[in-house]
Amino acid sequence: NFSLAGKTFVVMGVANKRSIAWGIARSLHNAGARLVFTYAGERLESSVRELADSLGAEGTLVLPCDVTSDEDITTCFAQIKEAVGTIHGVAHCIAFAKTEELKGEYLNTTRDGFLLAHNISSYSLTAVAKEARGLMTEGGSIVTLTYLGGERAIKNYNVMGVAKASLDASVRYLAADLGKDGIRVNSISAGPIRTLSAKVIGEFNTILKEIEENAPLRRTTTPEEVGDTAVFLFSDMSRGITGENIHVDSGYHIL
């Protein structure tokens, strides 16, 4: 069933209350799961701690993990292992690209900007999966967040779209590797949601309007909708699904 009572999930990428990761955390909490939060840098520590405490679960673990650092990832999962032992899944909700490369022509992407976007938005899933594997001794489920811009050339999404295509391929290869350990790896392709990261994408309001007017469900995607689909992917109800991408986007991708 959908109950995740007695199970522990690591949620990576909460920046503030608008973060999709926070939507996933609330859905997981509602399903009875125990949570561990990781955040990118000191700047975010107090806000993530505050959000974690607002769930009312005592002693929630909140740890730093800058995914550009192998050492950070290793230390973070070692601390999680020491504190909780076994985990049952990871929500990877992390991406980054230079603001100036999220508008205009993709052609102008710099080598630095390309590598940075791929490092944080794509490679990090592989680095995290490698460390998380050892903690998922009862099997597990890894969920990452992707976007339609990895499947199609979407205006202004540029290098992030190329990084999402790489992330999508990583999901398939990781699923192939980890299936034998009972670990599933899937992605959710979320429709556009107004978050801190989305703000830097050129003409984001136009994209939201396009969804409202034309998507089959005629409304934009909410973090709650993404969170509830994540609960499905974390639960036994999805036990036959791995290496898959589920669009939670009001059906926009079929157009």
* Positions marked catalytic: 147, 157
> Binding to ligand 0WD by residue 95, rule CB under 6 A?
yes
Give the contact letters, 176-195, x = binds to ligand 0WD (CB under 6 A), - = no: --------------x-xx-x
Both tokens assigned to 196? 């801190």
Report, in Å, the least distance between residue 47 CB and ligand 0WD: 10
| Residue 229 sits in the site that holds ligand 0WD (CB under 6 A) | no
Q: Which of 196, 203, 214, 237 binds ligand 0WD (CB under 6 A)?
A: 196
What is the Cα–Cα distance from 174 to 106, expressed in whole angstroms?
28
* Contact call for residue 25 and ligand 0WD (CB under 6 A): no
# chain residues binding ligand 0WD, by CB under 6 A: 24
- Residue 85, classed as helix, strand or coil, is coil
Local structure of residue 102 (DSSP, 8 states): S
Q: Which is nearer to ligand 0WD, 19 or 141 (CB)?
A: 19
User: Which residues fall within 8 angstroms of residue 59, CB to CB, at 6 or more apart?
Assistant: none
Spatial distance between the Cα atoms of 217 and 122, rounded to a whole number of angstroms: 30
User: Smallest distance from the beta carbon of 58 to ligand 0WD, in angstroms?
Assistant: 24
Nearer to ligand 0WD, 86 or 160 (CB): 160
Structure token pair of residue 39:
């955040």
- For residue 141, the Cα-to-chain-centroid distance in whole angstroms is 12
* Interface residue with ligand 0WD, options 2, 47, 96, 127 (CB under 6 A): 96
DSSP label at residue 139: B
In angstroms, rounded to a whole number, what is the distance separating the alpha carbons of residues 255 and 252?
A: 6
CA–CA distance, 87 with 70 (Å, rounded to integer)? 20
Contact between 94 and ligand 0WD per CB under 6 A:
yes
Positions that interact with ligand 0WD (CB under 6 A): 13, 15, 19-21, 40, 65-68, 93-96, 120, 145, 147, 190, 192-193, 195-198
